[in-house]
Structure 1
């Protein structure tokens, strides 16, 4: 009887520990730096962003949630000279407010990957926004901090806005 009781309590403890590992419900906030590429690199040399997300652990391997934030790509100045004439063009900042659903997969402890998919609302003048997607790879660097690497794409009317990002997220 003693062995059966001990076995029962050990199994119960294992179930509670396994359930605790699934409980990844968390609010996440952080910031990232952007390197504009493609068409975006023609008008901006760098950008900064704020990230906000809420994750819900569905099981040991999957989180679902919502994400938003704010990004600002700083417009650059281009100078073209030729034939004694110099023309200087100043590009405006480009700003987005993404609103997205997210999925994250946890193949090993301390590593997750997934994507945000939704719509990026254009904030800056002449920016209508578009379909937003952001694949992400993140590494836990402490119990409440992640280093995230991502690619952002916004499909605009007549073009696209693409950046490569590196940032830090804090879990609450």
Structure 2
């Protein structure tokens, strides 16, 4: 059931990406230090995402995002993997800086974790088609909050 849902979301996302040629596709990768509940069971977080972004007004970018995130287990704990599906938004600031947030749901890929609310506030700096960013990501369920402080890079296609 989860695999069918994941493939359906991915198919819709890719279809939107190819149907509108006046958009930007952003590919990102980030790594970070686990915080909170994740710090007790994980040594490192690594993730990547792809976003279809459009610019409805000069300083605002919005669009869908899908990604992959893995918390690497330590002290006998297994790795935890998630597929975040989110709405992404950014506001451009002076001097090529931006602030943004991704909000959605992270689907758990492991038997012992279902998933939860996904959020990722961020701040970054644009270098033409390349950006660096700092973000705080979190996945919250009734029983836990897995979070990390991240450093990432992004490429606009």
Query: Residue 45 of structure 1: which of 43, 46, 71 is its match?
Result: 43
Tell me which residue corresponds to 1:12: none
Deviates more, 1:152-161 or 1:67-76: 152-161
CA distance in 1, matches of 2:23, 2:94: 18
Tell me which residue corresponds to 1:129: 115
Deviation at 1:125, TM superposition (A): 2.4
Structure 1 regions of 5+ residues with no counterpart?
A: 1-23, 78-89
What's the Cα RMSD here?
1.2
Normalised TM-score (structure 2):
0.83
CA distance in 2, matches of 1:50, 1:150: 13
CA distance in 2, matches of 1:144, 1:102: 18
CA distance in 2, matches of 1:30, 1:105: 18
Matches within 5 A, 1:22-171: 25-77=23-75, 90-140=76-126, 142-171=127-156
Aligned length: 136
Q: Pick the structure with greater CA Rg.
A: 1
CA distance in 1, matches of 2:80, 2:128: 34
CA distance in 1, matches of 2:28, 2:91: 19
Ranges of 4+ aligned residues in structure 1 off by more than 6 Å = none
CA distance in 2, matches of 1:107, 1:148: 14
Deviation at 1:157, TM superposition (A): 2.6
Structure 2 regions of 5+ residues with no counterpart?
A: 1-21
Normalised TM-score (structure 1):
0.76
- CA displacement 1:36-86 (0-9 Å, x = unmatched): 001100000102111111110011111111111101111002xxxxxxxxx
Tell me which residue corresponds to 1:16: none
Maintained 8 Å contact 1:111/1:138:
yes
CA distance in 2, matches of 1:124, 1:110: 39
CA distance in 2, matches of 1:25, 1:112: 18
